[in-house]
Amino acid sequence: MSTSLPDSFDLLEATVADVRAAVADGRVTAEALVDRYLARIDAYDDLNAILTVNDDARRRARRLDERFESDGFVGPLHGVPVVVKDNHDTHDMPTTAGSVALAESTPSRDAFVVEQLRDAGCVVVAKANLQELSFGVDTISSLGGATRNAYDLERRPAGSSGGTAAAVAANLAVVGTGTDTCSSVRSPPAFNDLVGVRPTRGLVSRTGIVPLSETQDTPGPIARTVADAARLLEVVAGYDPADPVTARGADQIPEDGYVAHLDDAGLEGARIGVARQFFGLRNEEHASAADAEAVTAVVEDAIEAMAAAGATIVDPVEVVDGDRLASARVLQYEFARDFDDYLSELGDATPLDSLADLVDTGTIAPSIESRMEAAGILEMDTGSLDENVGYLRRLRRRGRLRETTLSRLAEHDLDAVLYPPSTVPPVEIPDHQPFEEMNCELSAHTGLPAIVVPAGFTDDGLPVGVELLGRAFAEPRLFELASAFERATDNRRPPDRFGALD
């Protein structure tokens, strides 16, 4: 330990508010806290959640302690250890997207959200493993290997933000960030008994994020509590001139922020629609019907808990046509174009010029490379997308899907629609988590916000999440609903494997 203060702060399951209170009354310093989280990262490396530890974390914490002594708190996240997904640019660590080919790529600036986090006083202690290039839902990378589920090391954590989720679940940081193209801040939290938020498109900047799909990508919070997710979103949301889409959300952030909308009574009088079309096994080659039934049983209990907390349950609600939802996928069109644009912005920070160059290195994880080949990613003529009828048709279809979803919410006077983020639990390694069983596309293709909260556990002890999707920029209402559900159920419990260090 680098401080003589007594080790009196219990960091297991510690929240942002806990850290702030402990710093304020002298029970812990930022430096002591960082030391202890770094010790946990070192002790629990069998989780395989962390790619890079920040060598500057202790110095940063020491400077925050000095600032606190002279001026008080730097910001709302003063001294809070944070882990960020390693597709967020950081000026002081490589940004690899999990790829060996990018292992030495260190951008000259931070991603917008990382800059916002640091301005709020946090300490980025490490960068987390991810599905390489964020392309998939396993969390396997050529640089970091396979991340394991914090509740069963023989199972997947979902992806692509599985490293962040596993790390936060195991208390390797207080909170973390991920990115979501089509599940990645929702299914990993669901599989690791956490809270995840996919914000409305345009609420949070994507500047400095290694892209997968420009029209779907968004950063989002991953936390152990709804309150911490709200605090994180409050810090990272905002207008960024370098990302024009954030102009949509510039006037949509509530003046009192998101934390003010935490409400123990938030389900009283709420109307929740149950989207039964997203329940149940879709393909028996992926898992058994019993696996899907185990998830459904936990979500049914969550629905009953919401009703007991005062919500009116509208069951069922048919939201959109499933085939039309699936037919609005555009990732295969945008991936190479957007990734190549990102590389060009890096300049001398990387020797690569294109996604094709990266694949040609022969280093990419085999399961990711095979998925890219099957999707025809490198066969796409990205220079003619403005004239590609198939691509433009899919973008128009998204607009109609969004209108249809909003009309269902209005028609039934709903605050949110509810469904499981995945129809099946985490699969055993080396099997791959089936994307077809993920319910990620409704939020991703409409740009509407969604929050995942812990719903409980299967009889096998595997976490299950429940997802609530709401109207555009209705994050305050989603936080009201989620905080009330959290309060009524208290479903979060830490994994047994990652207890206090001796």
Residue-by-residue DSSP string for 65-97:
HHHHHHH--SSTTTT-EEEEETTB--TTS---T
3-state secondary structure of 261: helix
Residue 341: its pLDDT value, please? 97
Per-residue pLDDT of the chain (502 residues; tens, 9 = 90+): 344 444 679 999 999 999 999 999 999 999 999 999 999 999 998 999 999 999 999 999 999 999 999 999 999 999 999 999 999 999 999 999 999 999 999 999 999 999 999 999 999 999 999 999 999 999 999 999 999 999 999 999 999 999 999 999 999 999 999 999 999 999 999 999 999 999 999 999 999 999 999 999 999 999 999 999 999 999 999 999 999 999 999 999 999 999 999 999 999 999 999 999 999 999 999 899 999 999 999 999 999 999 999 999 999 999 999 999 999 999 999 999 999 999 999 988 888 999 999 999 999 999 999 999 999 999 999 999 999 999 999 999 999 999 999 999 999 999 999 999 999 999 999 999 999 999 999 999 999 999 999 999 999 999 999 999 999 999 999 999 999 999 999 999 999 999 999 7
Spatial CA neighbour of 108 closest among 342, 354, 352, 349: 349
Residue 39: its pLDDT value, please? 98
Spatial CA neighbour of 221 closest among 299, 139, 262, 161: 161
According to DSSP, the β-strands at 271-274 and 312-314 are: parallel
- Of the chain, the end-to-end C-alpha distance in Å amounts to 13
Rounded CA separation 367/352 (Å):
21
C-alpha count within 13 angstroms, C-beta hemisphere, residue 227: 16
C-alpha count within 13 angstroms, C-beta hemisphere, residue 254: 17
Class of residue 353 by CB neighbours under 10 A (exposed 0-12, middle 13-18, buried 19+): exposed
Contacts of 299 (CB under 8 A, 6+ apart): 279, 418, 419, 420, 455, 464, 466
Rounded CA separation 211/68 (Å):
36
Residue-by-residue DSSP string for 194-223:
-EEEEPPTTSB--TTB--S-TTT-EEEEEE
Residues taking part in catalysis = 85, 160, 184
Class of residue 423 by CB neighbours under 10 A (exposed 0-12, middle 13-18, buried 19+): buried
Residue 502: its pLDDT value, please? 78
* Torsion-angle region of 280 (φ positive above 0: left; ψ -120 to 50: alpha; else: beta): left
Tokens of 452: 């995942």
Within 10 Å of residue 282's Cβ, how many Cβ atoms? Answer: 17
Identify the structural domains of the chain with CATH numbers, from first to last.
Answer: 16-489 (3.90.1300.10)
* Tokens 């390489």, located at residue: 132
